[in-house]
A and B are shown apart, each in its own frame.
Chain A
């Protein structure tokens, strides 16, 4: 069946270091979304990528969608303590008409 894998599961960084999380799908996705969930909070939408090879930036965050539309990445430059949380990707699988969430990458930033 459809799977969306995310790595790493955890990442501990020193404030100011960079961070990257990767999302891989077993099938081609129509689009991919990224969400951030703060500790004790609910997922909050960050961005959606639709086109093959698409790259989008939001301040220190850079999002990429792979050429084959099976993988995606989120890169944070110069992390801050406010970046702490779990980052989830969610891929829309056209054949099943639904989003599949990855297992998330939990980011901890040490000041």
Chain B
């Protein structure tokens, strides 16, 4: 089966600019996650979707981050305006649901200058 697809792989922007990341999960996976991984740290959950509904967005900085999964399939994560501390790898993961194995995409590496 095809894996989790993410784009772009790399993005360099200046602070206060905006950026969007796209994720297409494994077909049939109801749960989709966006994680932020800062260099040297473990993945930090930003938002979790179950189909097209938000399950958890408690750690999403909602003043600048937004995410949607309108049709319950692919998802977009947006940052506007970006700050220097947003420099990180943004990982998308999907699972069949619940507490099962997470399948991660290759990630989108963001550098904010």
Residues of A within 8 A of B (CB): 6, 30-31, 33, 35, 41-45, 48, 88, 90, 92, 96-99, 101-104
Contacts and interface: CB of A to CB of B under 8 A. Distances in A.
Contact of B43 (A30, A41, A101): A101
Contacts of B45: 98-99, 101
Nearest to A41: B106
A45 B41 contact: no
Interface of B: 35, 41-45, 48, 55-56, 91, 99-107
Chain A contact residues, majority secondary structure: strand
B41 A103 contact: yes
Contacts, number: 47
What 9 A-B pairs come out closest when comparing CB atoms?
A101-B42, A42-B104, A45-B101, A92-B99, A103-B42, A101-B43, A43-B104, A104-B42, A42-B107
A43 B101 CA distance: 11
Contact of B99 (A31, A41, A96): A31
A42 B91 contact: yes
